[in-house]
Copies of this chain bind each other. A is one copy, B any other.
Amino acid sequence: MSVSDIKRLAVIGCGLIGSSVCRAARAKGAAQTIVVYDASPEVRERVRALGMADEVADDPVAAVTGADLVIFAAPPAAIGPAAEACARGFMPGAIISDVGSVKGAIGDAMAAAAPPGVFVVPGHPIAGTEQSGPEAGFAELFEGRWTILCPRPSEDAGYPVAVARLSAFWRALGAQVELMDAAHHDRVLAVTSHLPHLIAYNIVGTAADLEEVAEGEVMKYSAGGFRDFTRIAASDPVMWRDVFLLNKDAVLEVLGRFTEDLQALSRAIRWGEGDKLEALFTRTRAIRRGVIAAGQESAEPNFGRNRKPS
């Protein structure tokens, strides 16, 4: 595990991810001091009660003052405004990062808010659960998961150093770090995360609207496959609303491809083309082996997510 040299960590927005960053940073000693700010006074109270931070500030500027690493963990669309609200307090040389699932739009928003002399390095830990709120976080959330950092073009000699420090911080939290272009990140995640969530939200909504099948029956017999989707479709509504709006182009593009393929599949069923169906299903089964080979499968099924120890 590489060593983090962060003295003062400010986490802005303290839900599932923000609180997990705090817990992991404290558990791994990845930051000397941890300060939290959340726009909700009620959430700040809960964070104080949970005692996961050294300080809980009631003012965003006070929270980031003196912090050498600021991580915005608010809902995607709230990160830009939050960065603006904090900007006056940013310390020269501070690393400004986030945990949003969309990197292009959020990176631009943070960069627009940041004064000269700070280093904006957008980031995204690919980890989570369907739970929300500071109580849902846990220190092991990032263990063995990927955190993607999307460095922005910079001629400042200090920038690569800031990227290296942020990488070391995430590795200290147990994550594997990958550097990627923001636009490519947004295309990759549109496929591996955004579309799957959109599909899950949609199928659960469709099932609930059927007249001929009662919602109770859908629940009762959900073990046949549907149940897997209800877990994904239980993810944070505000966060996902923002993700689809901020990554609109990439999401609509892969959604178009998905719909096209689904229509071909639908046609194959209507015309009884069993060979086409079997060929696709055989191929997707092989792809599953690739997921296991890529080490993205763990001993017990966990929906690709580290689970909170119960």
Residue A205 interfacial (CB < 8 Å): yes
A95 interfacial by beta-carbon distance below 8 Å: no
Q: At the interface with chain B, which of A15-23, A28-36, A153-161, A301-309?
A: A301-309
Q: Is the CB of B291 within 8 A of A274?
A: no
Point out the residues of chain B lying under 8 angstroms from A245, CB to CB.
Answer: 269, 272, 274, 277
Contacts of A248 in B (CB 8 A): 269-270, 272
Contact between chains at A237 and B282 (CB < 8 Å): yes
Inter-chain contact A188/B201, CB cutoff 8 Å: no
* Nearest-Cβ distance from residue A289 to partner chain B, whole angstroms: 8
With an 8 A cutoff between CB atoms, is A116 at the interface?
no
Query: In the assembled complex, which residues on chain B have CB atoms less than 8 Å from the CB atom of A280?
Result: 201-202, 205
Copy number in the complex reads: 2
Q: How far is the CA of A155 from the CA of B223 in the complex (A)?
A: 34
Of B187, B283, B297, the contact of A212 (CB 8 Å cutoff): B187
- Check if A310 sits within 8 Å of B304, measured CB to CB: no
Answer yes or no: A293 CB below 8 A from chain B CBs. yes
Interface size on A, residues (CB 8 A): 103
Please list the residues of chain A having a beta carbon within 8 angstroms of any beta carbon in chain B. 101, 126-127, 130, 145-146, 148, 187-189, 191-210, 212-213, 215-235, 237-238, 240-242, 244-245, 248, 251-252, 254-255, 257-259, 261-263, 265-266, 269-270, 272, 274, 277-278, 280-285, 287-291, 293-294, 296-297, 299-305, 307, 310
**Could you name 25 residue pairs across A and B whose Cβ atoms are closer than 8 Å?**
A101-B224, A130-B288, A148-B221, A187-B212, A188-B213, A189-B221, A192-B218, A192-B223, A192-B224, A193-B221, A195-B226, A199-B262, A204-B284, A219-B294, A219-B296, A227-B291, A227-B296, A227-B297, A233-B285, A237-B278, A237-B281, A242-B274, A244-B277, A252-B266, A255-B269
